[in-house]
Amino acid sequence: MKLFVLLGAAAAALAAPFAAAAQAPAAQQQPQRQQTVVIHAGTLLAVPGQAPRRNASVIVEGRRIVEVRDGFVDVPGARVVDLRDHTVLPGLIDMHVHLRGLDDRLQARLQAPFRDYEDEAYTALLHARTTLLAGFTTVRDLGNEPRMVTTLRDVIEAGQFAGPTIVAAGRGISVSGGHGDVNGLNRDLTDIGRARADNVCNGADDCRRAVRAQISAGADVIKFSATGGVLSNVAGGLNRQMMMDEMQAIVETARTFGRKVAAHAHGVDGINAALEAGVDSIEHGTFTDDRTFQLYRRSGAWYVPTLLAPAAAVADGERGALTPAQYQKAREAAGNAERSFARALREGVNIAFGTDSGVSRHGDNAQEFALMVRNGMTPAAAIRSATVGAATLLGRETTIGTIEAGKDADIIAVAGDPLQDVRLLENVGFVMKHGRVHKLNGERQLTSAD
């Protein structure tokens, strides 16, 4: 009996604070008002592709933009961020990154046998912070260990760590022997790797299973390899690797779960087949023909060019950081990607910004803009591809991509005019993500997430 009395007393003691809170005046139970921040923008590129506004104020409360007003307004009690000599624009979106892995390709190969999931998780966290400070407030991670990247996505979203919003694909789906399968290792390591992999499929039914496995692990988007890839150690070139019924099964299954589908595709035969299968985006899109652009127009699919990647891969090959098979494919891809990009511009294809960072260095994402402009895109269109366009491809155009009332306060700024010199975006001086200032005057600002 004494035991029950003691337990009852303990329970009452534990419940007391909650009971007191319930009886407290309503005013005391109201959450504290979120801080208001007012950004004074000398030039405001609120909707990339439209004319900028001069001398405007962006009013942020909590994680949302609540108002955009002409002039430099004062709001009582608000924090003022003075960017009167800057161009203020929406946070940038990179539609193709891989956050895990060492930036140095040679070191990555040497250390791969000794790195575990924990090593990769901490590396990915550092890459995420570096990417955010470079001005990219949203990224689409198109190939990673599923639990690691979805956990990173969730802790960043909860505000526990600094990083961009992550839209995660989990592991990219591949056929046996293809780009995304375990290859190039000795037979013991290959057997171990394949026993753990749930992303490899052969035949339509098996590819449905692979899609469901990634969604079960938390994938927001599905990525599959329609063709060979540069960095898989397979000497089969960059042509098509997956059959039409397999691609169609992937797309159909993803659609039943409300997921969009991105197709890694270099060779023209694989690009065209993926477009016919109904994918939402083509990643890389290196080799094209007349049929390719007919299919882009007919399907409305997006093209994510990743022009940085071939140049980075060739440089790695020249210093001995790639295998012979990888280096050969890197040389095949170099140059062709830029030619296909230039034609896509002329053909009016929907283009969304993407870099394949992880092949190139994290934090250098904005170097992609100069390559786009060099190959015929205007700075205004390039910026729009990394804001309005990318947000549309993600299906998140109602929350990101522009600076408008009701949208997430994902905002960056640069000194000078990026519409005249797009390379200014390589040196972002101000970064706000979900209303938190992470960088000001070019210096990192510590927040509760650091």
**How would DSSP label each residue in 382-420?**
HHHIIIIIHHHHHT-TTTSSS--TTSB--EEEEES-TTT
* The predicted structure's pLDDT at residue 188: 56
Phi then psi dihedrals of residue 31, to 5 deg? -65, 150
Please check whether residue 59 is in contact with residue 66, taking contact to mean a CB–CB distance below 8 angstroms.
Answer: yes
Architecture field, domain 92-394: Alpha-Beta Barrel (3.20)
Helices 336-347/324-333 angle, 10° precision: 30
Residue 346 burial (C-beta neighbours within 10 Å; 0-12, 13-18, 19+): exposed
Q: What is the pTM of this model?
A: 0.90
The per-residue pLDDT for 11 is 39
Alpha-carbon gap, residue 66 to 403, rounded angstroms:
10
**Token representation of residue 303:** 């093209």
Kindly list the domain boundaries of the chain, sorted by start residue: 1-30, 36-90+404-444, 92-394
The pLDDT averaged over each successive group of 10 residues in the chain (450 residues) is: 39 38 42 81 98 98 97 96 98 97 71 79 96 98 95 97 97 91 61 69 97 97 96 82 98 98 97 98 97 98 96 90 87 91 97 96 97 98 98 98 98 98 98 98 85
SS3 at position 159: coil
> Quick one: pLDDT at residue 193?
56
Average pLDDT, the chain: 89
Give per-residue pLDDT as tens, 178-194.
Answer: 888 766 665 655 555 55
Report which DSSP code applies to 50: B
Location of structure tokens 């030619």:
339
Decide: residue 255, CB within 10 A, 0-12 exposed, 13-18 middle, 19+ buried.
middle
Instruction: From 115, 121, 120, 118, select the one nearest 152 (Cα to Cα).
Output: 121
pLDDT attached to residue 280:
98
Residue 190, classed as helix, strand or coil, is: helix
- Which residues partner with 93 through β-bridges? 138
Rounded Cα–Cα distance for residues 421 and 424 (Å): 6
Which residue has 């250098």 as its token pair?
364
C-alpha distance from residue 186 to each of 180, 189, 229 (Å)? 17, 6, 20
Length of the chain: 450
Structure tokens at 385: 């591809």
Residue 72 phi, psi (nearest 5): -95, 100
**Per-residue confidence (pLDDT) for residue 420, from 0 to 100:** 98
Asked if the domains at 36-90+404-444 and 92-394 fall in one CATH topology, the answer is: no
198 contacts 213 by C-beta, under 8 angstroms: yes
Q: What is the CA radius of gyration of the chain?
A: 24
36-90+404-444 maps to CATH 2.30.40.10? yes
Q: Is 323 helix (H, G, I), strand (E, B) or coil?
A: coil
